[in-house]
């Protein structure tokens, strides 16, 4: 059986979706009003070229607008619920146990969107180097993936089971 996945979809729990929607609602409502008031107050202090409060408020506004765009796109493309999962096959929404080459210790983590950071275990993104290397692989397979320093690291997939929330 072939498991198909849409790599452009972010699967979110209802809780994560609601939390992100609430953040977006705040930023686009009272958040924008608050930053506009900060900018106006700083503007009234005089010369804008040397006004640190004004520049800080404008920078904060830019970061807020970037987060609004990020949340808008994430929520537009997100699916609420559980990603299609097949036990023994690595994919989003799965609890994965791996062992790195040359190390006897196993690590277990949830393969999911970083927005699921409220999970009680470590969360690795399917788009991270490790996540991308193991996504779609089966228990028992060994793969290598690139590290930031240019070297590669081998990893063996020990277990892949649906995440149960504990």
| Angle at CA of residue 72, ends 54 and 134, nearest 5° | 115
Asked: is 94-162 a CATH 3.40.50.920 domain? The reply is: no
| Angle at CA of residue 122, ends 117 and 123, nearest 5° | 55
pLDDT at 8 (0 to 100): 60
With contact defined as beta carbons under 8 Å apart, do 114 and 16 qualify?
Answer: no
Question: Is the pLDDT assigned to residue 5 strictly greater than 50?
Answer: no
Q: For residue 62, name the pLDDT band (cuts at 50, 70, 90).
A: very high
CATH topology of domain 11-80: Helix Hairpins (1.10.287)
Q: pLDDT averaged over the chain? A: 83
CA–centroid distance for 79 within its chain: 14
165, HSE (Cβ side, Cα atoms, 13 Å): 7
Q: For residue 130, name the pLDDT band (cuts at 50, 70, 90).
A: very high
Distance CA 14, CA 18 (A): 6
CATH 1.10.287.180 residue window(s) in the chain: 11-80
Closest CA to 21 of 84, 81, 55, 68: 68
């Amino acid at each position: 059986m072939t498991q198909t996945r849409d790599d452009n979809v972010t699967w979110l729990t209802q809780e994560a979706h609601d939390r992100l929607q609430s953040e977006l609602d705040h930023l686009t409502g009272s958040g924008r009003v608050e930053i506009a008031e900060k900018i106006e107050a700083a503007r009234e202090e005089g010369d804008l070229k040397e006004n640190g409060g004004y520049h800080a408020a404008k920078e904060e506004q830019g970061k807020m607008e970037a987060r609004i765009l990020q949340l808008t796109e994430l929520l537009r493309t997100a699916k609420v619920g559980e990603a299609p999962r097949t036990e023994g096959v690595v994919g989003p929404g799965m609890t994965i146990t791996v062992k790195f080459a040359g190390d006897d210790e196993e690590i277990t983590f949830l393969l999911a969107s970083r927005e699921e950071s409220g999970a009680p275990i470590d969360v690795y993104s399917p788009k991270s180097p490790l996540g991308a290397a193991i996504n779609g692989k089966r228990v028992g397979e060994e793969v290598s993936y690139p590290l930031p320093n240019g070297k590669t690291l081998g990893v063996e997939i020990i277990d892949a089971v649906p995440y149960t929330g504990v």
